[in-house]
Structure 1
């Protein structure tokens, strides 16, 4: 499509029509139109003759990603240079602000006498999953080939020096980020929640219902792990490096409770004690809330650092496909296909467990609302592909609100309050998975699971799940925390990196379904459910 001053309206209509066919959000379509307009204006100014200037606009689709490309003849001119300039007197400050806000999506290059500007419009939700699968496949093939063609001494060097070093570097980076991210995100959550709890009775009821469900699902995860993995999995035990097989005695429940208060502010971060970090974060969050308007500046700083550490975590998890490749190479070199079979069993157990979570959600709706669970389960299962494909509870919020209001008959105002607020307290899928894996590794590595240890495991999993950050890699953080509390080597967390992405899809289904169930329970108790809409097909 050729864009010029005379074809501007026609081109914008064409762009909207093409992007609508791709079924992307209206917000992304509007953003694409704004970026196209601002980029075109800057390229035309740089050309020297705006009246006769034109660019060729093309759309490109690759593995679910959608990007737009602008090509124009003329002298070299990079419209992105202005983004780095500070000039508050510019007449087009608004347009420049739009470009700056989407700087990461815009790129420039010069080729064959043409100025080329690329704009990423839509990023595929399955891209990370696809890259992880590629890393798994390449790691398996590479590991098996090395095992057949390289000497034992060389394999040892590759295993320890290359694959092992990469895994240690990633886990160190993760550990470096975990502490401050959890600390700030929990404080931010509490300061945000103050507005919700001011609603009073409804807010308190929502949180109580959600926490009860979360605890029940945590216990369900422990029981499921004990029954399903009664003898553990030898393939996983053999895959833990011998140098990391230091099985420490787990904390008793009394030690966990008394040790949750640190001796100083530095100790939790220096020792990586997440439970102490959670205590400090909750304590400081409550104090900030009590300060009221005097703490507005502090709240703004908390909000900034919350986004900052989320961005840091997003950078760290971008290396997961590479880490998964190294992990699979190491698994193939040390255990061969036995570890693959064990991970496959874990994946199947998790899928079955999430089915139990969905059924349990239906049961909770029936007990609290005294209504049939059949419509809820049917509509939840029909909705499940959305959270499964997006792999993010937060990204599902708009569609989840629509499900509650239009399919389940929940009052839209109550849903708009309940779904976002309840999300943090309905990590039932993550809680179930964390508890199940902790039991599995304890059994596999010979860690005694007496009553005291099981209580410690359950309580620590519940606490971690309540404060689990809504970002990629959060389940890995939860696993490492619970492993440490029970006495399992934290190095064993790396075994589950290869399947974290597909497992995360199932976890998201469990989390979102639990959030919807809490909203249904609250709506039934408040008599804000349209029964005709709920029972309609």
Structure 2
């Protein structure tokens, strides 16, 4: 295990050591950049607690376990978790905490009592792409298998396979998924409210970022519902969806249901019955109360963060079965309606793809009206840049490039970019909010749900809160049940979610950059000459 001691004098050498060792392990340039940034922020955060910051030192080592590579950052002394807020934090300290918090999934804190050491494990490598490829492969294999069976196998045998074998597997998968959905939503929403409070605690800049992000999020939920309604239902898939289970007798999604049924009689009912509205209410209430409580509550925040990651990990484990589920679901649809049933997917993909050009239009309008800047320099640079998040389908993977883009191409001050971009990722879920809303409305049209002002306001409220969790279609079964639609219907759309997520990720990243630019313009923390230059 290679290691070195870091102090203020050799930080540049430490950055070079990180680059050399991680490059040797075949990590990508953006992963190396993130690792360097996190090590530097950890060093600064720990050193600011010392009586003599210039004398502070830490130990950094490289740890390899099979194909996993991690950095181990060790500081001796009293227990001190750098991944939670500290009561003595000033504005500069909170900015550093916000940056670390945005990369929380890449780090783990541990306290070694034997050596009185604070240890932070940094996992810079992010495996992306393989899951998307596997799901698309499952979609293709399922379509081919379903087409061959539709052509060469008798209708009676195909219906037996679809109703006895495939339906059973789908039911088991959906039940397992819904087992973890309510706890995941509960802890994810609480964690989101805590993060929102932490951002707002930075004062004017934090509040501006939160307000712009949530306002745009609400707009894209409404836009997704409108686009889904204009495209209409997917009647081609109705028989396939109904074969997986009957629709609930009554839909509970209405203003009256929200008002009278949103408060549970106890803490168990929302989770036992997968009541999405009651779960969201409990999560919002718990998050607000936790933020209002006084005293040292870092242990509670850490607990919420852990349980949020734990429940997401449960869903992540089940998600490994998605390629298989996608394959059999696609095959089942073709067995019922034939290969032309895939046309419904084409209409859906068209509707979700419209979110990206809509994002550029809205961003341009906001920059012109709110920032009072010409949107042309932004559009000339943001449109080509959007190809990066579009191709990676990961906001985290392209974060280093996003930070560089904001500073070098838009003239936003580096310190503001390093705060606003990571923090904004937690709220700028524009793409996810948009395509999930499109799917929800298209399914409502498919099942002839009565769409009136009562239903629209209720669905908007639920979709908006769901968007704050940052989770896509996997948490939709309980929402669909409340609309009078079989929860198993969502299994037919999970397969193409990677395709919807490509423009969705680009939309979210562009929205995040837009929010950062608006805040920078209002706070006069950007170089207008850099923004307006032609190159």
Same-fold status (TM-score > 0.5): yes
The separation in 2 between residues aligned to 1:101 and 1:518, in whole angstroms, is 28
C-alpha contact (below 8 Å) 2:31/2:397 kept by paired residues: no
* Correspondence 1:189-208 to 2 at 5 A: 189-208=192-211
* Correspondence 1:437-452 to 2 at 5 A: 437-452=439-454
The separation in 2 between residues aligned to 1:285 and 1:306, in whole angstroms, is 13
The separation in 2 between residues aligned to 1:452 and 1:365, in whole angstroms, is 33
Q: Does 1:184 align with 2:187?
A: yes
The separation in 1 between residues aligned to 2:304 and 2:420, in whole angstroms, is 24
Pick aligned residue for 2:31 from 5, 25, 38: 25
The separation in 2 between residues aligned to 1:289 and 1:530, in whole angstroms, is 36
C-alpha contact (below 8 Å) 1:19/1:29 kept by paired residues: no
For residue 384 of structure 2, give the secondary structure of its aligned residue in structure 1: helix
Change (3 A) 1:420 1:485: farther
The separation in 1 between residues aligned to 2:358 and 2:187, in whole angstroms, is 33
1:190-214 deviation digits (Å, cap 9, x = unpaired):
3333332221222222222222222
Q: CA deviation at 1:487?
A: 2.9
RMSD over equivalenced CA pairs, Å: 3.3
Pick aligned residue for 2:223 from 216, 220, 225: 220
C-alpha contact (below 8 Å) 1:430/1:475 kept by paired residues: yes
Change (3 A) 1:241 1:522: same
The separation in 1 between residues aligned to 2:186 and 2:396, in whole angstroms, is 20
* Correspondence 1:18-97 to 2 at 5 A: 23=29, 25-26=31-32, 34-35=62-63
The separation in 1 between residues aligned to 2:134 and 2:184, in whole angstroms, is 25
Counterpart for residue 66 of structure 1: none
* Correspondence 1:29-428 to 2 at 5 A: 34-35=62-63, 125-229=128-232, 232-242=233-243, 244-246=245-247, 248-428=250-430
Pick aligned residue for 1:476 from 473, 476, 497: 473
For residue 477 of structure 2, give the secondary structure of its aligned residue in structure 1: helix
Q: CA deviation at 1:365?
A: 2.0
Counterpart for residue 503 of structure 1: 500
For residue 216 of structure 2, give the secondary structure of its aligned residue in structure 1: helix
Change (3 A) 1:265 1:37: closer
Q: CA deviation at 1:226?
A: 2.5
Q: CA deviation at 1:321?
A: 0.6
Change (3 A) 1:187 1:344: same
Counterpart for residue 114 of structure 1: none
Q: CA deviation at 1:37?
A: 11
C-alpha contact (below 8 Å) 1:239/1:339 kept by paired residues: no
Counterpart for residue 9 of structure 2: none
The separation in 2 between residues aligned to 1:321 and 1:250, in whole angstroms, is 32
For residue 266 of structure 2, give the secondary structure of its aligned residue in structure 1: coil
C-alpha contact (below 8 Å) 2:128/2:394 kept by paired residues: no
Q: CA deviation at 1:354?
A: 2.3
Q: CA deviation at 1:343?
A: 0.5
C-alpha contact (below 8 Å) 1:16/1:29 kept by paired residues: no
C-alpha contact (below 8 Å) 1:456/1:485 kept by paired residues: no
Q: CA deviation at 1:139?
A: 0.6
Q: CA deviation at 1:135?
A: 0.5
The separation in 2 between residues aligned to 1:38 and 1:225, in whole angstroms, is 46
The separation in 1 between residues aligned to 2:65 and 2:130, in whole angstroms, is 28
The separation in 1 between residues aligned to 2:339 and 2:360, in whole angstroms, is 32
Name the TM-score, length of structure 1 as normaliser. Answer: 0.76
Counterpart for residue 515 of structure 1: 512
1:451-507 deviation digits (Å, cap 9, x = unpaired):
222222222222221x223xxxx2114533543343333222112112011111111
The separation in 2 between residues aligned to 1:315 and 1:484, in whole angstroms, is 24
Structure 2's unaligned 5+ residue stretches are 1-17, 40-60, 68-111
C-alpha contact (below 8 Å) 2:263/2:278 kept by paired residues: yes
